[in-house]
Chain A
């Protein structure tokens, strides 16, 4: 059974700091990995999608890396801003043929607070 763990559970940083959120998964036979952001009372916003054949993806101040063999992904946020405050979730989709193919498995999330 795929398990996804996110560290840290919560993070509080001053504005302008660069930060790294970590995600690990137990089954390396993934199809892709997604990073999401969720604001309180809202749905999830897809930030970055990394296919299993890729090692990283970048969007603006965000960079996500994937090391499938070690079961790890990191989300790097550069020059953090108060507007980045949210819960960040990573989720993996198992490769076709797996018994759980088709369902995202989520981590518990990292609650990020960026204070001015």
Chain B
């Protein structure tokens, strides 16, 4: 199957700093990518839908100014957590949708810890 990578796999940062997470589709082009957040023992929560060349669509309750998403190419989307706080600590997972099957492939996730 297709491969989606995320970098970094884990990151520790201090409160008030910003962190950027990269999501790449390695062997296919993805016009649409997604960013999810997952808390321990819970299901995935969709944060935003990212379309190449246009602004991301954020889910209700997700602060767009805090979670900046950029989808500059057909193989790369980035999520920047700005002014991170301990409550932003979580597991962030991206996914990319292949066409024409619309099968969705997920990255391995990024563990963010804000101290």
Q: Which residues of A are interface residues toward B (Cβ below 8 A)?
A: 31-32, 34, 36, 41-46, 49, 51, 89, 91, 93, 102-104, 106-109
Q: How far is the CA of A91 from the CA of B103 in the complex (A)?
A: 11
Contacting residue for A31 out of B44, B102, B108, CB 8 A: B102
B46 touches A103 (CB 8 A): yes
B101 touches A49 (CB 8 A): yes
The 3 lowest CB-CB distance pairs between A and B, nearest first, are A44-B106, A43-B108, A43-B106
Contact digits for B37-68, partner A, Cβ 8 Å, 1 yes 0 no = 00000011010010000000000000000000
Per DSSP, chain A at the interface is strand
CB distance from B101 to the nearest CB of A (A): 6
Interface residue count on the B side (C-beta < 8 Å): 22
Tell whether B111 is near chain A: CB-to-CB under 8 Å: yes
Q: How far is the CA of A98 from the CA of B104 in the complex (A)?
A: 18
A43 touches B109 (CB 8 A): yes
A51 touches B43 (CB 8 A): no
Contacts of B93 in A (CB 8 A): 43-44
Q: How far is the CA of A34 from the CA of B44 in the complex (A)?
A: 15
Q: How far is the CA of A41 from the CA of B92 in the complex (A)?
A: 11
Are A49 and B103 CB-contacts (below 8 A) given A44-B93, A102-B32, A103-B46?
Answer: yes
With both beta carbons as reference points, the residue of chain B lying nearest to A93 in the complex is identified as: B102
Q: How far is the CA of A102 from the CA of B96 in the complex (A)?
A: 11
With both beta carbons as reference points, the residue of chain A lying nearest to B5 in the complex is identified as: A43
Are A46 and B111 CB-contacts (below 8 A) given A32-B101, A103-B46?
Answer: no
With both beta carbons as reference points, the residue of chain B lying nearest to A96 in the complex is identified as: B102
B107 touches A108 (CB 8 A): no
CB distance from A96 to the nearest CB of B (A): 10
Contacting residue for A103 out of B49, B91, B105, CB 8 A: B49
